[in-house]
Structure 1
Amino acid sequence: MAAAFDPALPFALLWDAGTGCARLFTAPVETLESTDIETGLETLRRWTREGDWAVGALSYEAGHQRESRLAALPKAPPWLRFTRHRDCRLLDAPALTALLAPFHGPATVSALTPLVEREDWLAAVRHVQALIAGGDIYQANLTFPSSIALHGHPLALFPRLFSPQAAPHGGVVHLGGGRWWISLSPELFFAAAGGKLTARPMKGTAPRGLTAEADAAIAAGLGNDAKNRAENLMITDLIRNDLARVSVPGSVRVPRLFEVERYPSLHQMTSTVTAELEPGRDALDVLAALHPCGSITGAPKIRAMQVIAETERHPRGLYTGSLGWIGPQAASARFAVAIRTLEVEGRRARLGLGAGIVADSDPEAEWAECLTKARFLQPSAPMTLIETMRLEPDGIPRLARHLDRLQRSALRFGFRLDRPALEARLAALPMNSPRRLRLLLDRDGAVALQLSTLPPVPDGPVEVALCPLPLEAGDWRLAHKTGDRSALDAARRASGAFECLFVRPDGLLTEGSYTSLFVQRDGRLLTPPLSRGLLPGVLREMLLAEGRAEEADLRAADLATGFFIGNSLRGLMPARLRPELGDGA
């Protein structure tokens, strides 16, 4: 049994997608930090031959020391850092949740600050493209570091960002002395077990769509994109060649090519390479032969690494290195590519970002892709989906529309939803008097139903204030009704009005914090298009379907002809704009 978990002491907690469990390593009996990679690997071999586990990482630059053409290139010394453990403790998902539960608390990161000038990085991309055009290389992965501030405890931040679906090869490592590694890596570098080797290189990304339909279209577009397929194939071939160095001849296979996987903040193209380990070799031989992963270098690998060393201004360190564990006798191992990984020291963290550059890459688009990859630092999926309905003695008005909206959001975010069972529960509710019904759906499909009294109906037009939209128009929190609408609610409360109407930076109106907007003009109701950044309200959807409303861009001046706010619970409510101070009202 592993030692008791004390987060104040060094430990490593790594999710193992192969077993569907986390591996918890505590009470290290020895720590190795070395810039001599060959000697360090021999130390790890001794540890594992003596029946222990080795847990840690090799820096990206560690790959230079084992190749004579690269040895003089690193801008910082290569390193490896591992701890030695007598055993490890396996935790399934519920046990992992229970382990981390005491550490939940407020923890966020500040806005990301690239540590390179944008124009300098774009110039580096163009330089690499010139080398590609000259036939020097086919592809190179260019990266840059960024800095962020950490607010809260690292162990509180990890469960806010981590899930096995979002980061199947993620983990958190406490090094001691205020130093942590927090990894949300989705990429398996390699796994070794029972003489079998598996690698899953990733190349090709695309953002998530706001709706399930848009999301599916984006995923299909990525899967069929010629540039991304060519880039992925190039790296898959590189990984095949690397694996062949330690495998039984003829055993290397590619059982899956160009798979598109969904993660909370983006789509990722992945391929799978397998092989049989050559007799007489072990997992440490695999690590030494493959590191660093070809998906973060380019092709040809050695020349791409030379170009990277000549072009990038900062050492990579842990970023794009290898993070994982080696089992007793080095008979098994699992390493992730250390991407989407924070190196925390005190209240600051370093995050590397990068993109694969090929001949037809658009430098501006590659810069944007790098920033897209940092979205994992912000919550990118809700914990709860919500529907608020009106319960009447004869049923729930517009129930099918409410459940349709819930189902669309569940599909978009990967929530389980048993609609027939939910409909049966709703039908069994006591309906003896009008009440407010709040439905909450969590990711695993559990449903909570909350009944309360209806809010009072206001007398006369309600007072509405204009407020700046607190989120970007493309934010998923605007397009789906979730438990995370706090920014909208806070704006309403701060306004002091019954409701606030949100105004985009371009002056277009969107919606209220819990109501849709309808402007009266020439006997018609006009409501903003969903594309402007608003919730597909159930009442709004019904009025549009019945031809009683139509979509139009609206500005503050349009409110002068009269307007309503409304939702499925309250219906349409006449509204008036609150006079601003100094208007003489």
Structure 2
Amino acid sequence: QLFAGDHYQANLTFGCDVDVAGPMPALYAALRRRGGGAWGGICVHDDGALASFSPEQFFKLANGHLTAMPMKGTARRHEDPEVDAAEAKALAEDEKQRAENLMIVDLLRNDLARVAETGSVAVPRLFAIEHYPTVHQMVSEVTATLRQGLDAIDVLETIFPCGSVTGAPKIAAMQALRQLEPEPRGAYTGSMGWIEPPKADGSAGDAAFNVLIRTIEIVSGRPQARLGLGSGLVVDSQSDAEWAECLLKGAFVTETARNFDLIETMRYDPTEGIVALDPHLERMKTSASELGFTFDRHAARNELQAATFSQSHPAKVRLLLSPSGALAIAMSPIEDMGDEPLPVEVKTLGVTKDDFRLRHKTTDRDFYDAPRKASGAADVAFVNEDGHLTETSRANIFVQRGDRLITPPLSAGVFPGVLRQQLIEEGKAQEGVLVAGDLGHGFYIGSSLRGLVKARLA
């Protein structure tokens, strides 16, 4: 049918049976970090329940202004920051993905035009890349002004279902999918949202609806929950690639979310305040975004300033962020490490260099802390599976070569330390592969809490 020109894109889907245990709210909380979608939510009703981790906005209505965010185009996230950035760049430049995205943009433009003021439909953003815990997604934005006298119900009745989950032309694609898909989709690819009452002036109340993708559905009487998966097919689609994309979209349910908080450890100085506060908050914001945590940067700054307001001595400040967005602050004296070089023992890293925990500072740190506690040394330097140095359990590693410090690259499995980044930006340090033998003549370990500290092999 695609080759015959009956339609030029069809979003073919299938359902997967999923074993679940416990109440839906607990399931939602457990998977929230892995799903990571900003348009998710939970709905428990008499006939079952939905836990949606959707990253896709169907439409939003605010003060008569309509916004739709069609999402089409997917690439895998990678633990190596450099590879991850390359994947995102490749997605942004992929002509096939752009063409598929543009098809849905055109469809949404036509749909919105049916409820919009004449000439108000616009596309302010095309082919933007958004980042989620397991995938990069290509997203565009279509806007319009709602025609006077219409409301969110009119919008739903006119443009539902979203073109990104049907294909184009919409009616022809839906007719084909009805023949091809073996069973009804259920709630999957439908929509969930809210509508406010009309405003005082009689104009339409605000509303917001998602597209029910990345969604687990429980139906009363069925022994298993359902997870729908799918991809958009065009004439040059490759079956292996489309199948891999489907599995990638469902990856968030295949790994149990670890129970951890995010951490930032900072130095408070009575004359400077919290040292390098902005880079620390930016790093927490980045980790929160990638891992699906809620983070209010403004609130964090205010709480830190309040906590340190009466502090008259240098202190170690520890900021913790829970997945729900709750903040906790602990302060303690900075431990005196003495003037002699710190003894450091070299050990093999207990996780692979692409483990996601290596690029986020979290409370899930036993693979760092246990080797240090088992050692008689002040700290432990780790070697990855390639035999390359990474970092210590609490700091980055620096080796002096001439007038420049050499520090292992992030791709080796290295945490992006604030001091490390500062020294690189100032031209005082550069990335380079290091091995245990490079530590024989002394080295430094560095963090924003203590600065550069001399170290030696234990």
The interval holding the TM-score normalised by the smaller chain is: 0.5 to 0.7
Deviation string, structure 1 residues 402-430 (Cα, Å, up to 9, x no partner): 44641541563575369899799979742
The reply to whether residue 342 of structure 1 matches residue 216 of structure 2 is yes
Structure 2 residue aligned with 1:182: 51
Distance 1:209 1:408, change over 3 A: farther
Equivalent runs, 1:118-517 vs 2, <5 Å:
132-133=2-3, 135-146=5-16, 150=20, 153-159=23-29, 167-175=37-45, 179-190=48-59, 199-205=68-74, 226-243=95-112, 247=115, 250=118, 253-254=121-122, 256-258=124-126, 260=128, 262=130, 264-265=132-133, 266-274=136-144, 276=146, 287-309=156-178, 312=181, 315-324=184-193, 335-344=209-218, 349-359=225-235, 366-367=242-243, 369-374=245-250, 384-389=262-267, 402-403=276-277, 405-406=279-280, 408-409=282-283, 412=286, 413=289, 416=297, 429-431=311-313, 436-440=315-319, 448=329, 450-454=331-335, 461-469=343-351, 472-473=354-355, 475=356, 477-480=357-360, 482-486=361-365, 488-489=367-368, 492=371, 499-517=379-397
Indicate if the aligned counterparts of 2:81 and 2:411 stay in contact, CA closer than 8 A: no
Structure 2 residue aligned with 1:114: none
Q: Distance in 2 between matches of 1:242 and 1:544?
A: 50
Indicate if the aligned counterparts of 2:12 and 2:233 stay in contact, CA closer than 8 A: yes
Distance 1:565 1:344, change over 3 A: farther
Q: Which runs of 5+ in 2 are unaligned?
A: 199-203, 290-294
> Could you tell me how far 1:225 is from its partner in structure 2?
5.8
Residue type at the aligned position of 1:174: V
After superposition, the CA RMSD in angstroms is 5.4
> Could you tell me how far 1:338 is from its partner in structure 2?
0.6
> Could you tell me how far 1:181 is from its partner in structure 2?
0.8
Q: Distance in 2 between matches of 1:209 and 1:453?
A: 36
Determine helix, strand or coil for the equivalent of 1:302.
helix
Indicate if the aligned counterparts of 1:467 and 1:500 stay in contact, CA closer than 8 A: no
Indicate if the aligned counterparts of 2:346 and 2:382 stay in contact, CA closer than 8 A: no
Matched-pair identity in %: 39
Deviation string, structure 1 residues 466-518 (Cα, Å, up to 9, x no partner): 23226735x2x4234x3444354465478666555545444544223323345
Deviation string, structure 1 residues 146-180 (Cα, Å, up to 9, x no partner): 455556643234356669xx655432122358x43
| Number of equivalenced pairs | 430
Structure 2 residue aligned with 1:573: 455
> Could you tell me how far 1:298 is from its partner in structure 2?
1.0
Within the candidate set 391, 400, 409, 1:529 is matched to 409
Residue type at the aligned position of 2:228: G
Indicate if the aligned counterparts of 2:263 and 2:284 stay in contact, CA closer than 8 A: yes
Residue type at the aligned position of 1:357: L
Residue type at the aligned position of 1:140: A
Structure 2 residue aligned with 1:123: none
Indicate if the aligned counterparts of 1:479 and 1:534 stay in contact, CA closer than 8 A: yes
Q: Distance in 2 between matches of 1:277 and 1:548?
A: 59
Distance 1:561 1:575, change over 3 A: closer
Q: Distance in 1 between matches of 2:395 and 2:210?
A: 45
Indicate if the aligned counterparts of 2:60 and 2:209 stay in contact, CA closer than 8 A: yes
Determine helix, strand or coil for the equivalent of 2:25.
helix
Equivalent runs, 1:13-162 vs 2, <5 Å:
132-133=2-3, 135-146=5-16, 150=20, 153-159=23-29
Indicate if the aligned counterparts of 1:148 and 1:350 stay in contact, CA closer than 8 A: yes
Q: Distance in 2 between matches of 1:241 and 1:135?
A: 20
Determine helix, strand or coil for the equivalent of 1:172.
strand
Distance 1:421 1:181, change over 3 A: closer
TM-score for the superposition, normalised by structure 1: 0.56
Residue type at the aligned position of 2:333: S
Distance 1:257 1:567, change over 3 A: closer
Q: Distance in 1 between matches of 2:381 and 2:243?
A: 34
Indicate if the aligned counterparts of 2:39 and 2:53 stay in contact, CA closer than 8 A: yes
Q: Distance in 1 between matches of 2:354 and 2:125?
A: 35
> Could you tell me how far 1:320 is from its partner in structure 2?
0.9
Kindly indicate whether structure 1 or structure 2 has the higher relative contact order, using CA contacts under 8 Å at least 6 residues apart: 2
Q: Which runs of 5+ in 1 are unaligned?
A: 1-130, 577-585
Structure 2 residue aligned with 1:36: none
Determine helix, strand or coil for the equivalent of 1:514.
coil
> Which of 1 and 2 has greater Rg?
1
Deviation string, structure 1 residues 314-373 (Cα, Å, up to 9, x no partner): 6533221233457889x8775421112122479964333333334555666555554554
> Could you tell me how far 1:271 is from its partner in structure 2?
2.0
Indicate if the aligned counterparts of 2:69 and 2:139 stay in contact, CA closer than 8 A: no
Indicate if the aligned counterparts of 2:113 and 2:121 stay in contact, CA closer than 8 A: no
Determine helix, strand or coil for the equivalent of 2:187.
coil
Deviation string, structure 1 residues 539-580 (Cα, Å, up to 9, x no partner): 655776898865433456x4785675733356233234xxxx
